């Protein structure tokens, strides 16, 4: 019985490994890089603006700049320096490679947002791990119940309930502990390290 369970786990891990190493993924990354290189910084920032649901402050935290600089570049009043333009392209490439999901981008790049987004959105960002893990727990619970190991079956059954409770606590924590507002000291002037006049 133990060898069958071990055999199923090994097969599942092999399937996940093979599916993660597909050739299509590398072709998509090359295509995304070409798209990002062909677009202007203003267009890339507008894509991030739409993806963030107009949350300029979140974009500014990701880029490590002030919101007013993002707005001026996005609206075409100024243009980015070469160094900041490279940062915009890098972040836009991450954004495209992560299915244009702004929450995934934030969890990768924004240190203030990443910790609770990882907990709160883990089932959405990593659905195979989440659902496969829960399915394995349920199967192991049935096996334990079938072999008259009721205490183990109860413990394995309580783990998904614990996940739900933990998710609710993480959600409430994310509502209470939102990132602090960015102090914008470049509202009336440009930041010379980030932007330049056209």
For residue range 125-172, list pLDDT tens digits in order. 777 887 888 888 888 878 887 888 888 878 777 887 887 787 788 778
Tokens of 92: 């836009």
Does residue 33 register a pLDDT over 70? yes
Please determine, for residue 183, whether its predicted confidence score (pLDDT) is greater than 80: no
pLDDT tens digit sequence for 51-107: 999 889 889 888 889 899 999 999 999 999 999 999 999 999 989 888 888 878 887
Domain layout of the chain by residue ranges:
26-110+182-198, 111-178
> Where do the H-state alpha helices sit in the chain?
2-20, 23-38, 41-51, 56-63, 67-74, 82-97, 102-109, 111-120, 122-125, 127-146, 150-176
pLDDT of residue 181: 67
User: Does 113 have pLDDT greater than 80?
Assistant: no
**CA dist., res. 40 & res. 44, Å (int):** 6
Question: What pLDDT is recorded for position 15?
Answer: 65
What is the pTM assigned to this prediction?
Answer: 0.62
DSSP class of residue 1 equals -
pLDDT in the model for residue 191 = 81
């Amino acid at each position: 019985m133990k060898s069958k369970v071990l055999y199923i786990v090994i097969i599942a891990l092999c399937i996940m490994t093979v599916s993660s190493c597909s050739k299509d993924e590398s072709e998509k990354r090359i295509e995304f890089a070409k798209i990002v290189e062909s677009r202007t910084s203003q267009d890339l920032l507008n894509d991030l603006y739409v993806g963030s649901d107009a949350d300029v402050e979140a974009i500014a935290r990701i880029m490590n700049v002030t919101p007013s600089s993002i707005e001026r570049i996005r609206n075409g009043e100024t243009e980015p320096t070469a160094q900041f333009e490279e940062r915009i392209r890098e972040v836009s490439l991450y954004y495209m490679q992560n299915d244009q999901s702004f929450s995934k981008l934030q969890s990768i790049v924004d240190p203030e947002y990443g910790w609770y987004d990882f907990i709160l959105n883990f089932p959405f960002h990593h659905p195979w791990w989440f659902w496969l893990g829960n399915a394995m727990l349920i199967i192991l619970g049935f096996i334990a119940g079938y072999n008259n190991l009721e205490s183990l079956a109860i413990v394995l059954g309580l783990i998904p309930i614990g996940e739900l409770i933990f998710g609710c606590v993480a959600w409430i924590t994310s509502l209470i502990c939102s990132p602090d507002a960015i102090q914008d000291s470049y509202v009336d002037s440009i930041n010379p390290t980030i932007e330049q006049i056209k």
